[in-house]
Structure formats: C-alpha cells, structure tokens
Amino acid sequence: MNLRNKLVLMAVNPNSSFIYWEITDKTVEEFGVDPKNIELLFKLFDEKHHEILEFDSNFALGDYYINHENNHKAIYVKLFLKVGGRLQYILSSNIIKTLDKTIKSSKHSNLIDDGISENLIYTSTLLGGR
C-alpha cells in the first residue's frame, strides 16, 4: 500500500461537507517537525478563493464535518502545517460543487410550487425503504 498525503472533501448535504486527511511522517519530517507533535490548519475556500472558515487539528490522520452556508457554488480546503509559528502549505483537497437547494426560476409555475409542497423530500417510513 502506498503511503501518500490525502485530503479528500465530500458533500453530505447543502449545509455540510465531510473531509478526511492523512499526512505521512515523511512529509512532516521534511519540514523538521516531530510527527508526534504536529499542528495542522485547514482553510475552507469558495469558488472565488475567498476564505470561508478555518479549523485545526493535532492529528496526522483524521476527519471533520464542516458546516457551511449553501450560498457558495464550489468549495475546497487547503491544508497547512505549522512550522515554527509560520504556516507551510502542504496540499489542497478536491473541489466539490455545493448542493444548491433552490428553485432555479424566478417565475415559479403552479406545477413547481405544487411539486415542492407535495413532493418535498419524502422519507420512507417503511422498513426496507431508504
């Protein structure tokens, strides 16, 4: 199995995404940092490269659920390693399109409005359904 740095972003729903990462000891050591004592910083950006939020972790392998607004078209994450008080860029995640839960026409038809109220995401209550 190849050991490689990983930073993978996945959409969960319009307001939440999931990210997992793995940073190899080799990568950390290249910056003179002890793998047992690391500080990682994650920054979430939108499609215009505007920073939305950040979070940190002390684990080389981990995951996190990110809650965000759904008014961005796409998002991605950049991972940094803290080296002597400075941020060292390590890698970027894949870019995901956010799940834009809106009616795309300003002129609603009765059919769409009916559909939204009648057909609003129906959840099966029967065993065997999803």
User: Which residues in this chain contact other proteins in the complex, by CB under 8 A?
Assistant: 1-2, 6, 8, 10-14, 16, 18, 20, 22, 63, 94, 97, 99-105, 108-112, 114-116, 118-130
Residue 18 Cβ, how far from other proteins at the closest point, in Å? 6
User: Among residues 29 and 113, whose Cβ is nearest to other proteins?
Assistant: 113
Neighbours of 123 (CB within 10 A): 7
Dist CA 67 CA 9 (whole Å) = 13
Neighbours of 21 (CB within 10 A): 23
Residue 32 Cβ, how far from other proteins at the closest point, in Å? 27
Residue 16 Cβ, how far from other proteins at the closest point, in Å? 8
User: Among residues 47 and 100, whose Cβ is nearest to other proteins?
Assistant: 100
* Residue 44 and residue 68 in contact, taking contact as beta carbons nearer than 8 Å: yes
Dist CA 10 CA 22 (whole Å) = 15
